């Protein structure tokens, strides 16, 4: 007895994205956690999943990867074009540590924050609001970098006015030799940024879906809202906006490199991201599972070993 055998007639019927084959999704999970890093045919030859034994290791290793990307761009004398998330967050403290130790100025970095809370028209919270992603980014990364920080004119946030200019600005920087790196987490419903799986129903082909650079006032899936209630809003679902501005696959695909992170463990054996991680790594690429396209790009995905499982029921 499980969801697959009891779904019919339940309140969960019609809840998941219509393009999801739940039996196929469940089959993505191997009972042996050690197999999660077994290379799949659709992975890029230079894509690598990196298991981390603890959250402390995860934060440090991911932060080092970000800092090294910035340093290598400076050493090569080209712009570092970076699409950046607010979540995971612990890596920014370590990125600051390494950049400071190496005395690497970030005046060659152009940061594009991938999303922001909004209303249905794309209007966002003030940048000074403690719930905004811009505020979080300034507090966690740009501010603490001090004299080494990214110039303000090179910090771009997903506001109603600025987000539609991302594609053109990134294109100009890449035409001048800039390398594009997308730093990302994986959503409960396998979104990248807030590009949700149900958007797939709006496009006649995967090619059309891949060309979408952004969306203002994106309608969020209920699982996305509840994920953020648990991870960012101290369980207060009523405080989570139902819409967000977000980049699309036209920006988070086709990168020079990706840096991913999955740290969705609560403690006491509880977690929310294990199935999403397995889907990302094992499901063939489909617009109904946006994160499934990420392993087809060069780069690394850092994840907590605990997320690999075994994903079996237990009492807590």
Spatial separation of the C-alpha atoms in residues 302 and 49, rounded to whole Å:
6
Average pLDDT over residues 29-38: 97
User: Beta 115-118 vs 179-185: how paired, if at all?
Assistant: unpaired
Average pLDDT over residues 117-143: 96
User: Per-residue confidence at 170, pLDDT binned at 50, 70, 90?
Assistant: very high
Domains annotated for the chain, with CATH where assigned, are 45-308 (3.40.50.1360)
User: Per-residue confidence at 314, pLDDT binned at 50, 70, 90?
Assistant: confident
Average pLDDT over residues 263-288: 97
Average pLDDT over residues 186-209: 98
Torsion, Cα of 213, 215, 216, 220 (10° steps): -150
pLDDT tens-digit readout, 264-276 = 999 999 999 999 9
**For the packed helices 55-75 and 90-102, what is the interaxial angle rounded to 10 degrees?**
40
* Three-state secondary-structure class, residue 147: helix
Of 87, 86, 81, 68, the C-alpha closest to 154 is: 81
Of 268, 291, 242, the C-alpha closest to 117 is: 242
pLDDT (0 to 100) of residue 313: 87
- Mean pLDDT for the chain? 97
Least reliable range by pLDDT among 21-25, 129-133, 153-157, 203-207: 129-133
Average pLDDT over residues 156-170: 98
pLDDT tens-digit readout, 100-127 = 999 999 999 999 999 999 999 999 999 9
Q: Is the pTM of this model over 0.75?
A: yes
Task: Dihedral sign for Cα 204, 23, 186, 127, please.
Answer: positive
pLDDT tens-digit readout, 52-83 = 999 999 999 999 999 999 999 999 999 999 99
Indicate if the pLDDT at residue 37 is higher than 80. Answer: yes
Indicate if the pLDDT at residue 316 is higher than 70. Answer: no
């Amino acid at each position: 007895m499980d969801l697959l055998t009891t779904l019919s007639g339940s309140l969960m019927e019609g809840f998941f994205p219509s393009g999801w084959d739940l039996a196929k999704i469940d089959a993505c999970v191997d009972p042996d956690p050690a197999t999660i890093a077994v290379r799949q045919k659709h992975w890029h030859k230079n894509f690598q999943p990196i298991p981390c034994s603890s959250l402390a290791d995860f934060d440090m290793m991911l932060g080092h990867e970000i800092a090294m990307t910035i340093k290598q761009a400076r050493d090569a004398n080209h712009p570092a074009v970076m699409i950046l998330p607010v979540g995971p967050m612990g890596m920014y403290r370590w990125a600051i540590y390494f950049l400071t130790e190496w005395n690497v100025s970030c005046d060659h970095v152009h940061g594009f924050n991938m999303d922001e809370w909004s209303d249905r028209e794309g209007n966002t919270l003030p940048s000074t609001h403690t719930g905004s992603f811009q505020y979080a980014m300034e507090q966690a990364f740009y501010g603490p970098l001090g004299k080494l920080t990214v110039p303000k004119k090179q910090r771009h946030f997903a506001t109603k006015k600025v987000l539609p200019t991302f594609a053109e600005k990134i294109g100009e920087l890449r035409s001048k030799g800039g390398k594009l790196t997308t730093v990302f987490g994986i959503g409960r419903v396998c979104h990248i940024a807030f590009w949700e799986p149900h958007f797939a129903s709006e496009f006649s082909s995967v090619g059309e879906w891949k060309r979408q650079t952004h969306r203002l006032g994106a309608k969020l899936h209920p699982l996305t809202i509840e994920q953020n209630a648990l991870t960012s809003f101290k369980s207060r679902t009523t405080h989570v906006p139902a819409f967000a501005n977000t980049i699309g696959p036209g920006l988070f695909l086709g990168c020079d490199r990706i840096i991913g992170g999955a740290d969705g463990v609560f403690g006491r054996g509880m977690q929310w991201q294990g199935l999403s991680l397995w889907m990302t790594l094992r499901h063939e690429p489909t617009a109904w599972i946006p994160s499934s396209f990420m392993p087809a790009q060069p780069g690394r995905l850092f994840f907590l070993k605990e997320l690999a499982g075994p994903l079996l029921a237990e009492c807590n």
